[in-house]
């Protein structure tokens, strides 16, 4: 279920945007994103093995960096998801409009907002059951596309039967980097939003019976999943589909299948991809509400959001989160869905990357501060170089988006999302100290 929650419309729909911007090298961008994910997960896993009870990366940030930084990171994480949820609803609206244009995109967007809200108001058991089946649909779709793409490439099916495509679309349509190599890094912030949710797998690993033995296998499985469910389908896509035709007009995977004559399959694919958007927004809202509740428990958010219902649901935190989500959904009705979607993904990718940087930084400081760390415990291979590589790769990707007029807003909104909570926390902390000293 955690794996299914990671795969959202940012992959099914956002990949089309990535391919249109960077060209066939999109699969290399996913490879770089996979490397960053692997290194971050390795750092996170080391922290979990050493201090399994802490679990949340916000707790590790508080323990090994500073409480103020933890507050900033915690709110950045909340922002990353509270922005990501409307983007998933918009994506579902775009996909549904492509499937059936009876209603405009914003009507479908509002409709899917109601669906997400309704599911999260149900009992957690119903939520888990729905999320399981939606996640399974997404995995089957990706594997199904891979099978079709391989058969198309070798000319076994489709309009180009009896003809192996070779490197026609990979290298002969302007090369791997038709728009230059810098655009590759500028769009990494959007691509990194595709991997958001991997840290949820790390948190669940803290509940393992024997973390020292099970954590390394978790890292390997996550890496294999990334290769299978992200890198391979994208590589097969750019092998069979020209990058110039990619975009946000619909799921690029479905459009690729339709271009080879599989119209019915493409329509079924497009319709079922909507499950991807619903699933990711669904699990995202669940995670966001719990993170806001966690911030309140740590004194980093209003104490009213600490309360739980009789069924253990943080209702006030849920209402606060839904209020912001619905404000953004209504706001989206007045702008171009495609442009807003790309910007929301960029903002989510920016704030989410700050959280991942914090995981790596906490692990780096953990090694420096905790001298009694036992050598036989699980360690991140190649420390400190691998940890520093993960940090600086992400910092570089976040900084270069300033060069993009279309995505620059993510920097202007994402950075204050980190700094403002830090300043507020420091102010309130100093105020409490003055009162206690009286």
What was the pLDDT predicted at 201?
63
As a whole number, mean pLDDT of residues 85-97 equals 83
What was the pLDDT predicted at 122?
63
User: Alpha-carbon distance 335 to 342, whole Å?
Assistant: 12
Q: Which of 96, 109, 135 is nearest to 254 (CA)?
A: 96
Tell me which residue has tokens 């499950």: 275
What was the pLDDT predicted at 2?
53
Q: Which of 67, 68, 113, 115 is nearest to 90 (CA)?
A: 113
CB 275 within 8 A of CB 95: no
User: Alpha-carbon distance 77 to 386, whole Å?
Assistant: 23
The torsion region of residue 390 among left (phi > 0), alpha (psi -120 to 50) and beta comes to alpha
What was the pLDDT predicted at 134?
67
DSSP for 278-289 reads: HHHHHHHHHHHH
As a whole number, mean pLDDT of residues 155-178 equals 80
What was the pLDDT predicted at 363?
92
| Dihedral over alpha carbons 13, 15, 21, 27 (to 10 degrees) | -170
pLDDT at 200 over 80: no
Q: Which of 210, 159, 188, 200 is nearest to 26 (CA)?
A: 188
Confidence of residue 216 (pLDDT cuts 50, 70, 90): low
Confidence of residue 5 (pLDDT cuts 50, 70, 90): low
User: Alpha-carbon distance 99 to 268, whole Å?
Assistant: 9
Confidence of residue 138 (pLDDT cuts 50, 70, 90): confident
What was the pLDDT predicted at 385?
93
User: Alpha-carbon distance 65 to 35, whole Å?
Assistant: 24
Residues in the chain: 438
What was the pLDDT predicted at 71?
92
Q: Which of 103, 94, 5 is nearest to 341 (CA)?
A: 94
User: Alpha-carbon distance 81 to 268, whole Å?
Assistant: 28
Q: Taken in order 201, 206, 208, 210, is the CA torsion positive or negative?
A: positive
pLDDT at 362 over 90: yes
What was the pLDDT predicted at 102?
80
155 Cα distance to chain centroid: 35
As a whole number, mean pLDDT of residues 1-29 equals 78
Comparing 135 with 228, which gets the higher pLDDT?
Answer: 228
Q: What is the CATH number of the domain that holds 181?
A: 1.20.1740.10
What was the pLDDT predicted at 392?
94
User: Alpha-carbon distance 264 to 205, whole Å?
Assistant: 41
* Residue 31: domain span: 2-437
* pLDDT cut 90: percent of the chain above it: 16
As a whole number, mean pLDDT of residues 317-341 equals 85
Question: How many alpha carbons fall within 13 Å on the CB side of residue 370?
Answer: 18
Q: How far is CA 150 from CA 136, 154, 200, 235, 266, in A?
A: 22, 6, 32, 11, 16
Confidence of residue 207 (pLDDT cuts 50, 70, 90): low
Q: Tokens in use for 42?
A: 């390795």
What secondary structure, in 3-state letters, does 332-367 show? HCCCCHHHHHHHHHHHHHHHHHHHHHHHHHHHHHHH
Confidence of residue 364 (pLDDT cuts 50, 70, 90): very high
Choose from 162-176, 271-285, 344-358 the range with maximum mean pLDDT. 344-358
As a whole number, mean pLDDT of residues 305-311 equals 79
pLDDT at 423 over 90: yes
Q: Work out the mean pLDDT of the chain and round it to a whole number.
A: 81
Q: At what angle do helices 252-259 and 14-22 cross, to 10 degrees?
A: 70
Q: How far is CA 309 from CA 167, 290, 318, in A?
A: 58, 13, 11
This prediction has a pTM of 0.86
Confidence of residue 118 (pLDDT cuts 50, 70, 90): confident
CB 18 within 8 A of CB 181: no
What was the pLDDT predicted at 406?
78
User: Alpha-carbon distance 410 to 402, whole Å?
Assistant: 9
Q: Tokens in use for 24?
A: 């066939």
pLDDT at 211 over 80: no
What was the pLDDT predicted at 208?
60
What was the pLDDT predicted at 438?
57
As a whole number, mean pLDDT of residues 158-170 equals 77
Segment 38-74, tens digit of pLDDT: 898 888 888 888 877 655 788 889 889 999 999 999 9
Burial of 159 (0-12, 13-18, 19+ CB in 10 A): exposed
**Domain count within the chain:** 1
Confidence of residue 148 (pLDDT cuts 50, 70, 90): very high
* pLDDT cut 70: percent of the chain above it: 84
As a whole number, mean pLDDT of residues 8-33 equals 85
């Amino acid at each position: 279920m955690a794996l299914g929650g990671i795969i959202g419309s940012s992959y099914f729909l956002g990949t089309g945007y990535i391919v249109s911007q960077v060209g066939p090298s999109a699969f290399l961008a996913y490879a770089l994103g996979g490397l960053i994910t692997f290194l971050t997960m390795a750092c996170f896993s080391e922290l979990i093995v050493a201090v399994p009870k802490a679990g949340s990366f916000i707790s590790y940030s508080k323990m090994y960096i500073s409480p103020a930084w933890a507050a900033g990171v915690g709110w950045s994480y909340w922002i990353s998801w509270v922005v990501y949820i409307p983007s998933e609803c918009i994506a579902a609206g775009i996909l549904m409009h492509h499937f059936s244009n009876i209603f405009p995109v914003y009507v479908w967007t509002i409709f899917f907002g109601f669906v997400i809200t309704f599911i999260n108001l149900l009992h957690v058991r119903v939520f888990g059951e729905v999320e399981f089946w939606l996640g399974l649909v997404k995995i089957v779709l990706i594997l199904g596309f891979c099978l079709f793409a391989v058969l198309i490439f070798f000319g076994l099916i489709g309009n180009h039967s009896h003809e192996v495509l070779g490197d026609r679309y990979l290298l002969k349509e302007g090369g791997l980097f038709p728009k230059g190599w810098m655009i590759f890094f500028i769009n990494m912030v959007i691509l990194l939003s595709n991997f958001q949710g991997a840290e949820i797998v790390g948190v669940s690993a803290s509940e393992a019976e024997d973390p020292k033995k099970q954590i390394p296998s978790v890292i390997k499985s996550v890496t294999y999943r990334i290769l299978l469910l992200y890198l391979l389908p994208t590589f097969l896509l750019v092998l069979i589909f020209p990058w110039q035709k990619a975009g946000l007009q619909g799921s690029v995977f479905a459009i690729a299948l339709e271009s080879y004559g599989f119209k019915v399959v493409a329509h079924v694919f497009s319709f079922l991809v909507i499950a991807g958007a619903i699933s990711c927004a669904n699990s995202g809202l669940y995670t966001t509400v719990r993170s806001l509740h966690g911030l309140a428990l740590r004194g980093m958010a209003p104490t009213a959001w600490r309360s739980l219902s009789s069924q253990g649901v943080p209702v006030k935190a849920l209402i606060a989160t839904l209020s912001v989500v619905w404000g953004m959904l209504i706001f989206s009705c007045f702008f171009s869905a495609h442009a807003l979607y790309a910007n929301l993904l960029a903002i989510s990718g920016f704030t989410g990357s700050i959280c991942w940087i914090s995981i790596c930084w906490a692990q780096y400081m953990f090694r420096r501060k905790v001298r009694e760390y036992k050598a036989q415990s699980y360690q991140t291979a190649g420390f400190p170089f691998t940890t520093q590589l993960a940090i600086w790769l992400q910092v570089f990707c976040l900084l270069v988006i300033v060069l993009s007029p279309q995505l620059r807003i993510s920097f202007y909104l994402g950075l204050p999302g980190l700094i403002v909570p830090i300043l507020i926390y420091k102010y309130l902390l100093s105020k409490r100290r003055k009162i206690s000293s009286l």
